[in-house]
Structure 1
Amino acid sequence: MNLLEFTVPPLLHFIACGHNGFSAGERHVSRRNIRVFDLLAVTRGCLYMGEEERRYEVKAGSALVLRPDCYHYSTEACREPTEYYWLHFQTTGHWKVTDTVPPRRTPEPYDAIVESQQFDARTFPLGLPQFTQVAQPGKLEETLMQIKALGPEGHLSASRLKQQILFQETIGQLSSSIDSGRSTPATICAEQAAAYLRSHYQQNITAHALGENLNFHPVYIARCMNKEYGLSPMDYLLRYRIEQSKLLLMQTDYTIARIAEEVGFNQAAYFSSCFLRTEGISPRQYRQRFA
């Protein structure tokens, strides 16, 4: 799969949107270096498009993102009545073309780099398929319709903000088609387990309880999580609890005992030993960094 990988933030931003239709025998215009990304989402018929040496048949329910730095053209005329939404967007950040899907992320250390960057925005890779069968084409069409409908109100800041918010939903829908394409029973199990652990980290969670709630055997869950995240369920839970405790140590004046309780540890001493083993310093020393 050809992917466009963006470094976020900054967020991708919406520029313009419209709806076009072609009769049989008509074709899309050819353009070179248009300096914006051009999303084509076909709702009826088929567009026959090329970009440099690559050729695409963009049928109803599929979407193609044309790059801003390439020559794109119609490879042939439409064979039937064809309708599609077009949407131009851009980024001020870094982007590249890759065939590697961005990896799933484990709980990240809050102070992963250096203390001076504690409050800087942390970037992450956002992958968009350049050409894909949309997971929920009806939902995508509805979102694009709403963006287009706000066009006449583009002179109003509130309407422009709504367009940008709806555009982020569009990007999310396109990005999710990557996961739908690579989802297997094992990845689904791992993702469900991770979501459950993050939602219930303050509670007393055992492997048996996790299995009962997900309706999977605990051994199978552990195997899936090790494959997808490189961590067992309990190691994943511990990492997430430690990361939540670091936020409380920095943002509150709670006692160490209360923080331990807030993030799911039964005993403050055990919390402190886990924190020391994971971070290399005690919770109290960590807090002193921000005093």
Structure 2
Amino acid sequence: MCVPLLQLSVPPLPYYIVSGLAEVPAGSKHPARRNIGVFDLLVVMKGTLYVGEEDLHYEVREGHSLILRPDAYHYSTLACTEETHYYWLHFHTQGEWQPIEDSISMPGYPRDSAVEAPPFLPAYSITPFMICVPQYTPLLQPDKFYDMLHELTLMNQNVHLPGTRLRQQALFQEVIQQLSDTLTTDAPSPKAACAERAAAYLRAHYQEEVTAKALGEHLNFHPVYIARCMQKVFGCSPAAYLLKYRIARARLLLLQTDLSITRISEEVGFNHPAYFTSSFAKQEGLSPRKFRQRFS
């Protein structure tokens, strides 16, 4: 498959601006815009976006991403034929960047070929290098990518707090790395695929009581193997992943609703409000009530 590429000089690193989740009904169209001044990353979770950039047309399907350039004309080529959910993310760079006009085959493409790597890094000088990201690509690990975009978007609510914007920028660099990796990495390994399926199951059933046995039966793998796969891909066990996801959902409910703490604990899958409160405090550093009061 051939794909247009964007080549960016680093440093400085591309920087995150803002992101969000859009859930649009069938019949909706992506807005037409010209020279918006920032890159626009679109990542589809459900349905399909039909988008054009200049004379190129894209069908951005579930598990795929598209980067729209800041200096180009973007428009809808077709209305959504079904309900479509997608993340949008604006980013930019103060460094040099350029589209690579000649399409380059993805497999084996040397991302840093434009600048030969030095034999060593000088101690007192900046050594720029190039990174390339595909404008349109299937994601290697869609669920992991969705998780990163979800976390980036959640942090928008706390940008006034010390350290939040720095954490956003650090997480955004992982987003760029994931996109760049699609140029040279083959399909996900069996372990990565197992971890992805396990994570998807946990997110879909976070409001229920989830057991290792039920997870193993759903994936048709031994729970120990699933735990090893998730540790390798996500850096945590299935139970820890589920807990983190439940707390993330609780943060949203605390900020966006007036539901009681007890009701929220039930909504995100906790059987006992006291355990919810202690788990939330351990992960967030303060109780659910104080977390809500901070934004009152």
Matched residue SS, 1:178:
coil
Give the equivalent residue in structure 1 for 2:78. 76
**Which amino acid is the alignment partner of residue 127 of structure 1?**
C
- Between structure 1 and structure 2, the one with the greater Rg is 1
Percent identity for Structure 1 against Structure 2: 43
Residue 23 of structure 1 aligns with which residue?
Answer: 25
State the TM-score, normalizing by the size of structure 1.
0.58
Cα deviation digits, residues 184-227 of structure 1 (max 9, x gap):
xxxxxxxxxxxxxxxxxxxxxxxxxxxxxxxxxxxxxxxxxxxx
Separation of aligned partners in 1, 2:54 and 2:21: 25
TM-score (norm. length: structure 2) = 0.57
**Partner in structure 1 of residue 138 of structure 2:** 133
1:48-59 correspondence to structure 2 within 5 Å: 48-59=50-61
Partner in structure 2 of residue 144 of structure 1: 149
Residue by residue over 1:207-259, the C-alpha shift from the partner in whole angstroms, topping out at 9 and shown as x without a partner, is xxxxxxxxxxxxxxxxxxxxxxxxxxxxxxxxxxxxxxxxxxxxxxxxxxxxx
What SS does structure 2 have at the residue aligned with 1:74?
strand
> Which runs of structure 2 are paired with 1:1-291 in the superposition (5 Å)?
1-98=3-100, 99-100=103-104, 101=109, 102-103=111-112, 108-110=118-120, 118-180=123-185
Contact kept? 1:110, 1:118, Cα under 8 Å: no
Instruction: Answer whether contact 1:25 1:79 (CA < 8 A) is retained.
Output: yes
C-alpha offsets along residues 147-202 of structure 1, whole Å, 9 cap, x if unaligned?
A: 0010110112311111111101111111100112599xxxxxxxxxxxxxxxxxxx
In 1, Cα distance between the equivalents of 2:45 and 2:145? 10
CA distance in 2, matches of 1:176, 1:33: 28
Give me the CA root mean square deviation: 2.1
Instruction: Assess if the C-alpha contact under 8 Å between 1:40 and 1:63 holds in 2.
Output: yes
Q: 1:153 to 1:182 in 2, by over 3 A?
A: closer
1:24-45 C-alpha deviation (Å, 9 max, x unpaired): 1111111110000000000000
Distance in 2 (CA, whole Å) between partners of 1:107 and 1:9 is 14
Secondary structure of 2:88's partner?
strand
The alpha carbon displacement at 1:103 in A equals 4.4
Contact 2:18 / 2:89 at 8 angstroms: preserved in 1? yes
